[in-house]
Amino acid sequence: MSKIERIETTVLDIPTIRGHVLSMTTMTAQSIVLVRIRFSDGSVGLGEGTSIGGMSYGPESPESIKVAIDAYIAPLLEGRDGNDVNGAVALVEKAVRGNPIARCAVEIALWDGLGKRLGVPVSQLFGGAVRRAMPVAWTLASGHSETDIAEAEKMLATRRHNIFKLKIGKRRVREDLAHVAAIADAVGDRASIRVDVNQAWSLTEARQGLAGLAAIGVDLAEQPIRTGSLAALRALTERTGVAIMADEQLNGPADALAVAAERAADVFAVKIGQSGGLKRASEVVAIGEAAGIGLYGGTMLEAGVSTAAALQLFATVAHLDWGTELFGPLLMTDEILAEPIIYRDFSVHLPEGPGIGVELDEDKVAFHRRDRARTLQAVV
């Protein structure tokens, strides 16, 4: 038996390559909580928890993720059998309410450690990979049509992305529609155009906006209205030609079942962090598949560790009709993995090797850790 000896957390702050404009904030850096679980046999499992825009997107922040793990989850798990992942998940869910991203970060490290000890990828622990590469979207979120068009042309020319998701909702509906139309006209039939409203529209604005998006030829609209009213989301789903994707509405399998029962969405954006871990995300996938709802591998703009973990799960999904948007590492100015995840031919590729298939570049981790300044000062 390999026991959990110690769970360590480190906050990293990594600048983004440009301002990432969402309806509720503009990101210029991403903060991640890196988790290491050290086991009694000497193996180490890696995990990561990441929120979006501090607390502007949801109730968890990098700081709260770290505190939840350090003060509540780590004391609960240290000394337990490291191979009993399901037991750990059940124990943590009973003792720690909410905090799905914190729980996910630790669970990733448990799966990674188990895979490494068994010498198999995490995908094998979920039944085996059915694909080695997945379509991957890129988010156009500079806030400027000309900049976004130039960025899209570059992605098409280098064959990195031919699916583009536009962040809208910060401006008036009419202005957003003009912005989307300009980009759709520029790329034509060479790419799929999708939008993410991040809950910014009222029901009336959503009706107006979705009609305009359908006329433009947009394929999909993500979470156009606030969570809480499945009846309103269902009404939009029933009455528009644009596929409606539930995102913030989904925080695990119970939410997925409620959305499926109401037929309130055409597509699930499945996020391992938002779901509370790989195990619960796999259950969201199963509910979507059983209900005939399309599946999309979503992101919390994670760095390489959580992105690799998500790829391990989504590689096992039989029907991933809407692809993924697991581009998080590409949004950051620096890479914390020793071997970066591969993006080419409009796809993201499953990392090879045991566990989640990645290792850290320890120099980059040391450089970006938030407490680096204090550490250097102490050394001096």
List pLDDT tens digits, range 87-119.
999 999 999 999 999 999 999 999 999 999 999
Do 339 and 250 share a structural domain?
yes
119, 140, 170 - which closes a domain: 119
- CA-to-CA dists, residue 326 to 47, 135, 323, angstroms: 16, 9, 9
Active site residue 325: yes
Q: Which of 222, 248, 283, 325 is catalytic?
A: 325
Q: Please check whether residues 72 and 175 belong to one and the same domain.
A: no
Same-domain check for residues 260 and 315: yes
pLDDT tens per residue, range 243-269? 999 999 999 999 999 999 999 999 999
- Residue 329: how many other CB atoms lie within 10 Å: 25
Does the residue 361 lie in any domain? Answer: no
With the C-alpha atoms ordered 221, 319, 162, 26, is the resulting torsion angle positive or negative? Answer: positive
The domain tally of the chain equals 2
Radius of gyration of the chain (CA): 20
Residues 230 and 324 in one domain: yes
The pTM (predicted TM-score) of the whole model is 0.94
Look up residue 13 and give its DSSP letter: E
For residues 305 and 342, membership in a common domain is answered with yes
> Does residue 370 lie within any of the structural domains?
no
Mean pLDDT of the chain: 95
Residue 376 maps to a domain: no
pLDDT score for 269: 98
Looking at the fold, whether 173 and 232 belong to one and the same domain comes out as: yes
Residue 36 lies in a domain: yes
* Choice among 66, 165, 167, 170 that is catalytic: 167
Residue 85 and residue 217 in one domain: no
- Is the same domain home to 113 and 130? no
> Sorting pLDDT into bands at 50, 70 and 90, what band is 21?
confident
Helix (H, G, I), strand (E, B) or coil at 345: coil
Is pLDDT above 70 for 377?
Answer: no
pLDDT of residue 19: 81
The candidate with the shortest Cα–Cα distance to 22, out of 157, 200, 159, is 200
User: Does residue 184 share a domain with residue 89?
Assistant: no
Q: What pLDDT band is residue 374 in, cutting at 50, 70 and 90?
A: low
pLDDT of residue 228: 86
Mean pLDDT for 197-213 is 96
Q: pLDDT-based confidence at 27, cuts 50/70/90? A: confident
Residue found by looking up tokens 């000309």 in the block: 146
**Residues 138, 85: one domain?**
no
198 and 328: one domain?
A: yes
pLDDT higher than 90, residue 83: yes
Region of poorest pLDDT, from 50-64, 211-225, 242-256 = 50-64
In a domain, 158, yes or no: yes
**Inter-residue contact 355 to 121 (CB < 8 Å):** yes
| Residue 378, pLDDT above cutoff 60 | no
Amino acid identity at 260: A
Domain limits for position 145: 124-349
Last residue of a domain, one of 96, 119, 142: 119
Answer whether residue 264 is part of any domain.
yes
Q: Which residue, of 91, 119, 147, is where some domain finishes?
A: 119
Tell me: do 78 and 175 sit in the same domain: no
pLDDT number for residue 225? 95
pLDDT tops 60 at residue 376: no
**Lowest mean pLDDT, pick from 54-63, 121-130, 213-222, 260-269:** 54-63
Residue 26 scores a pLDDT above 50? yes
Q: Which are the contacts of 223, defined by CB distance < 8 A and separation ≥ 6? A: 196, 197, 198, 199, 245, 246, 247, 248, 249, 269
Q: Is residue 363 part of a domain?
A: no
**Domain-embedded: residue 232:** yes
pLDDT > 70? residue 379: no
Residue 187 sits in a domain of what CATH number? 3.20.20.120
pLDDT of residue 24: 65
